[in-house]
A = this chain, B = another copy of it.
């Protein structure tokens, strides 16, 4: 039933090409006229809105509020926190002028050389610096703490090699920036938000994630500790899906943010930051989709159900319409989002392929014979199976089916990860197994030197030092030195 023009490269043939085809052909996003910046198309943006709405609710339930800080950061701010600068303040868009003027030669507009900024402004790559310069005025005493603020925003990092959703110069994200009176409270916050991310990934995106902390080498620039969730894609590569940072007092010291504690003593404020981005779209797409197109978890699908009428003439369509309008009402009463596609300029086969490509979880088809029999055909996107059922209880049937699909997609991804997670004890075996992809649990001596050697020789990085796995000590697979526990290696996006 596939339609020629929309055919995808298969995953086995070329996974990277499959991904790219899918993003384009399912109308999720496309490259723009501006190098490295994407256009998020309405269907892709509708998924992002679902992600945003759910995360925003979860942030608010955990006591956070939203605010908005400037797009621009004075260049000098980026010099204030040494590790932060060292780590990634470099590949940024720099604003140097604030005015255009008509080209004296009549060729449109040119930059007005007289409108040069005294200090250059950097388009935010992340907002710790501008936010902590603001918090300085918000915080005097422990009574002003904690500050639990989140921002939904666009950020820019001048990536040289970009891929839609996975790595783009401009991307959309949320960044939480919290301020606390004690170290313990800040650590608790960083861990709490990691758990929020993990819960979201597993229960909404249906993507199982490993929780853990980053090695020093992979830590966020300026953080004392970076917590992360790591997901496994179908090609065996890992994808970092969210990070939460315990920043200690680094930014408070850089921006001189002190407070008077309950005992009347001055101290620097403790900080966290945490973020997820439109990269989650990449994880969502790659974790579940197949050679026929997107597979979306019902909880994040822009519409969960599509209904396609099958008819020979207007009279039949009118009768089907009548029946479907009742079904639509029943589905909406159960808070199920549904699209009825009775457009006349497309054939049912085209529609079937289109909604398969777009990952609509459930497709209902109804024809003249169904009207006679009181039936309707229900097809699942995840298993590509279908069943003819009674139309009378279709809303309840669909509701259960959506739950079942949400669970099944998660379980499938979970089983895939389980089948692609192994332990190895020798570096030889590691080098062999890493070629097949997947998560590899191995002992490591804790040094950046060994970590970088492994990366250079195998392209694998330490994805995280996991929380939940085996804590048995052992010996580093490379150097034989003592290792506190196995860590998770993978090649990564």
Which A residues are within 8 Å of any B CB, using their own CB? 30, 32-34, 37-42, 45-46, 48-49, 65-80, 85, 89-102, 107-111, 120-123, 130, 133-134, 137, 143, 149, 153-154, 156, 158, 170, 172, 345
> Are B93 and A72 interface neighbours, CB within 8 A?
yes
How far is B111's CA from A92's CA once the two chains are assembled, in angstroms?
A: 10
* Cβ-defined partner of A32 (8 Å) among B75, B89, B130: B130
How far is B77's CA from A153's CA once the two chains are assembled, in angstroms?
A: 25
* Cβ-defined partner of A46 (8 Å) among B66, B89, B143: B66
Give, as a whole number of angstroms, the nearest-CB distance from A116 to chain B. 10
How far is B85's CA from A89's CA once the two chains are assembled, in angstroms?
A: 33
> Are B96 and A92 interface neighbours, CB within 8 A?
no
How far is B153's CA from A66's CA once the two chains are assembled, in angstroms?
A: 16
Give, as a whole number of angstroms, the nearest-CB distance from A150 to chain B. 9
A101 and chain B: residue at smallest CB distance: B90
* Cβ-defined partner of A94 (8 Å) among B39, B68, B76, B96: B96
> Are A39 and B97 interface neighbours, CB within 8 A?
no
Give, as a whole number of angstroms, the nearest-CB distance from A374 to chain B. 34
> Are B72 and A37 interface neighbours, CB within 8 A?
yes
Residues in B neighbouring A85, C-beta threshold 8 A: 102, 108-109
How far is B85's CA from A154's CA once the two chains are assembled, in angstroms?
A: 26
Residues in B neighbouring A98, C-beta threshold 8 A: 91-94, 158
Given A67-B41, A71-B154, A75-B109 in contact, is the A33-B100 Cβ separation under 8 Å? no
* Cβ-defined partner of A74 (8 Å) among B33, B99, B110, B111: B33
How far is B108's CA from A80's CA once the two chains are assembled, in angstroms?
A: 8
> Are A37 and B111 interface neighbours, CB within 8 A?
no
Q: Known contacts A37-B72, A70-B170, A75-B109; can you find 12 more A-B pairs with CB under 8 A?
A: A33-B77, A33-B133, A45-B65, A75-B100, A75-B108, A79-B108, A85-B102, A90-B99, A90-B101, A95-B123, A96-B96, A111-B120
Q: Is the interface of A mostly helix, strand, loop or mixed?
A: mixed
Give, as a whole number of angstroms, the nearest-CB distance from A364 to chain B. 23
Q: What are some 11 contacts across the A-B interface (CB < 8 A)?
A: A37-B70, A39-B134, A45-B68, A71-B170, A76-B108, A78-B109, A79-B108, A91-B99, A94-B97, A95-B96, A95-B123
A42 and chain B: residue at smallest CB distance: B65
How far is B172's CA from A158's CA once the two chains are assembled, in angstroms?
A: 23
Residues in B neighbouring A30, C-beta threshold 8 A: 134, 137
> Are B71 and A37 interface neighbours, CB within 8 A?
yes
A170 and chain B: residue at smallest CB distance: B71
Residues in B neighbouring A80, C-beta threshold 8 A: 108
A143 and chain B: residue at smallest CB distance: B345
> Are B70 and A45 interface neighbours, CB within 8 A?
no
